[in-house]
Structure formats: structure tokens, C-alpha cells
């Protein structure tokens, strides 16, 4: 296993906080501007990230989704969206804290919330968690690019940066002083 789901949940919260923080520097118009991304705008893409985080968690908790589609808008303004994302990130950290690494090869069954139809899937838990992490990184990358295009320099969202911030002992490069 490359990273435990709890470390991935912590990374997700760290990256979301950094990304939402820089997005807060943009105007409401810049956040809502359709930039041709899959979910249109920065706001649309951040809504999608939150929606999928909720969807994946609810599947684990056995809750049937009430979402109509992957492009549902949960919040029309960034402050409310950022607060909800931070709450969801904390739910994921709590949920994954007790995940038994020895049981990640067990299958997990769920139904997709597809754009066209729902499909039944059965995958090992480690693939389920890894897919969520990949999804988050993919759409944060799109958002990062849209922020950059808006003229604001986005922060690094690198996993290595996160790990080094969590544990300074991982830094082996001598300081340049």
C-alpha cells in the first residue's frame, strides 16, 4: 500500500484548505466565470469535488445518494462551499482513522452515480480509496490551472510538500544559508 487512507484524507484536507484559500482572493465573478472546464467554473469544479467526497463517504456509511447528478451545485458562494468542504474533510479524517490496512484487499460494493446510468461496481477497498484520492487530485489540478489563468499564483499542492510539512524529519536536503 502506498499511503494509508487516513494519510490521504489528511492530504486532501491540507490541499483543499490551500486551494480554497487562494480562491478566496478571487472575486465572485472570477470564481463563477465559465472557463470551459468539465464543470465550467472554479466554483462548479469545487462543488463537484465536494459532491464526490460526500458521495464516496455516504456509500461507505450505507447511505443512499440524494444527488441528481455529478454536476449538482451544493453552494452558490465560495465561503459556504469552503466551510462545507472543511467539514467534509474532517469527516473523512475521522472515518479513515480506524481503517484496518490488512482489510483493504476486501471488496467493496457500490452503485455509481453516472452521468447516464447507474452501474453496480465491486472493487477492493484500496482501489476505492485510491480512486477517490485520484479524483480529488485530478479536479484540484483543473482548479489550480483555472486559478493560474485568472492571474493569481496558486500554491503548491504537492504530496511531498504536505508530507514534509507534517514530518520535518523527511527533509534530507541541507538548508541553503
pTM attached to this predicted model: 0.91
Spacing of C-alpha 118 from chain mean position: 22
d(CA 42, CA 5): 26
Query: Residue 164 in contact with residue 171, Cβ under 8 Å?
Result: yes
Query: What is the residue-averaged pLDDT of the chain?
Result: 92
Model confidence band, residue 174 (pLDDT cutoffs 50, 70, 90): low
3-state DSSP assignment of residue 120: strand
CA distances, 46 to each of 1, 100, 146 (Å)? 28, 30, 11
Taking residues 33-46, report their average pLDDT: 96
Would the pLDDT of 176 be above 60?
A: yes
pLDDT of residue 118: 78
Q: Cell numbers 520535518 correspond to what residue?
A: 168
pLDDT digits (tens, 9 = 90+) for 50-103: 999 999 999 999 998 888 889 999 999 999 999 999 999 999 999 999 999 999
Task: Map out the domains of the chain with their CATH numbers.
Answer: 5-170 (1.20.120.450)
Amino acid at each position: 500500500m502506498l499511503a494509508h487512507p487516513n494519510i490521504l484524507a489528511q492530504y486532501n484536507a491540507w490541499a483543499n484548505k490551500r486551494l480554497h484559500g487562494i480562491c478566496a482572493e478571487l472575486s465572485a465573478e472570477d470564481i463563477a466565470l465559465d472557463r470551459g472546464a468539465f464543470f465550467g467554473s472554479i466554483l462548479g469544479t469545487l462543488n463537484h469535488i465536494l459532491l464526490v467526497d460526500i458521495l464516496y463517504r455516504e456509500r461507505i456509511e450505507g447511505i443512499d445518494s440524494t444527488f441528481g447528478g455529478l454536476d449538482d451545485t451544493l453552494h452558490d458562494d465560495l465561503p459556504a462551499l469552503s466551510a462545507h468542504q472543511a467539514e467534509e474533510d474532517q469527516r473523512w479524517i475521522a472515518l479513515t482513522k480506524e481503517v484496518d490496512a490488512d482489510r483493504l484487499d476486501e471488496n467493496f460494493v457500490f452503485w455509481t452515480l453516472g452521468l447516464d446510468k447507474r452501474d453496480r461496481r465491486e472493487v477492493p477497498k484500496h482501489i476505492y480509496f485510491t480512486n477517490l484520492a485520484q479524483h480529488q487530485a485530478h479536479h484540484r489540478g483543473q482548479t489550480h490551472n483555472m486559478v493560474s489563468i485568472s492571474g493569481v499564483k496558486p500554491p503548491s499542492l504537492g504530496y511531498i510538500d504536505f508530507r514534509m510539512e507534517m514530518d520535518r524529519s523527511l527533509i534530507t536536503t541541507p538548508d541553503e544559508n
